[in-house]
Structure 1
Amino acid sequence: MSQLEQTVSRYRSLRLSAAADELTNLLAEAEVNEMSYLSFADRLAEHELIQRQDKRIRRNRKMAAFPAEKRLEGFDYRHQTTITKRQVNALLDFQFIDERNNLVFIGPPGVGKTHLAIGIGYKAVEAGYRVLFRNALDLVEELELAETLCVSVVVA
């Protein structure tokens, strides 16, 4: 086993899989740029952290169960008269999450409720929060099912 293979194996056993996967390329980059040992160690750690963050974001987006990919940057505020861009941006400090408050958009079809909710959800995931997206109908159905199961368990 070569020293490179042994090092990759050690990184994997330490659960540093991103560093292990990219070690050959990072070594080549370090050589070309004549990096110091400390700079290389920092670059290796930076790569691992970035990959872990990206993986966490992808996993949390998937778990959020967004029905579509919608971004706040693509929302057209000109057709929405009941909420402003400033009000939406004020939500992006996520104080409502920290205070354990829900965010609910109510209005007729086609005004952008889903787009806003998904866009804010994406920003929350990127900020490190876990999100669960549900529209009102699905939420009511899940609550009714949960209530039915709880009653059945209590009665039985």
Structure 2
Amino acid sequence: GLSPLAYLGGCLDAEISNRKENEIRRRLQEARFPVAKTLETFDFTALPSLSREKIRTLSEGRAWTERENVLLVGQVGTGKTHIAIALGLEAIKSGARVRFVTAPALIQ
């Protein structure tokens, strides 16, 4: 069997993991994403003018660790919402708070 110390360590690890999962779940609800999207599911070949490297750099977190805003601008159907949600998800995984807002909602 496990020593009392090993058992306690396992319990603490499980509690920490559970709290992190709950925090991510709560922040996802607060973000109010309309759908779930990831960078892995974005088709960069459909929009060759979009720099995959710039999006990857954004996904690494400097924008939210330095508390910068990210604004995506472009024609309808170019993937702005997909990228915004995917970046927001990465930010949440890194511990940031995120709020998804469309341009029309922001103006109102």
TM-score using structure 1 length: 0.66
Q: 4+ residue runs of structure 1 moved beyond 6 angstroms?
A: none
> Gaps (5+ residues) in structure 2?
none
Greater shift, 79-88 or 42-51, is seen at 79-88
Aligned length: 108
Quote the sequence identity (%): 32
Checking the alignment, whether the CA contact within 8 Å between 2:64 and 2:91 is kept in structure 1 is no
Which residue does the alignment assign to 1:131?
A: 98
Q: Which structure carries more relative contact order (alpha carbon 8 Å, separation 6+)?
A: 2
Which residue does the alignment assign to 2:43?
A: 76
Structure with more of its chain in helix, by fraction: 1
Give the distance between the partners of 1:75 and 1:127, measured in 2 at CA: 20
Give the distance between the partners of 2:17 and 2:65, measured in 1 at CA: 25
* CA deviation map 1:104-139 (0-9, x unaligned): 111111110000000000111111000000010111
DSSP 3-state at the match of 1:58: helix
Which structure is larger by alpha-carbon Rg, 1 or 2?
1
Which residue does the alignment assign to 2:55?
A: 88
Give the distance between the partners of 1:120 and 1:113, measured in 2 at CA: 10
Give the distance between the partners of 2:70 and 2:57, measured in 1 at CA: 13
Give the distance between the partners of 1:82 and 1:134, measured in 2 at CA: 24
Give the distance between the partners of 1:88 and 1:65, measured in 2 at CA: 21
Summarize the alignment of residues 1-156 of structure 1 with structure 2, pairs less than 5 Å apart: 34-141=1-108
Give the distance between the partners of 1:118 and 1:100, measured in 2 at CA: 17
> Gaps (5+ residues) in structure 1?
1-33, 142-156
Give the aligned CA root-mean-square deviation in angstroms: 1.1
Query: How far did 1:37 drift?
Result: 1.5
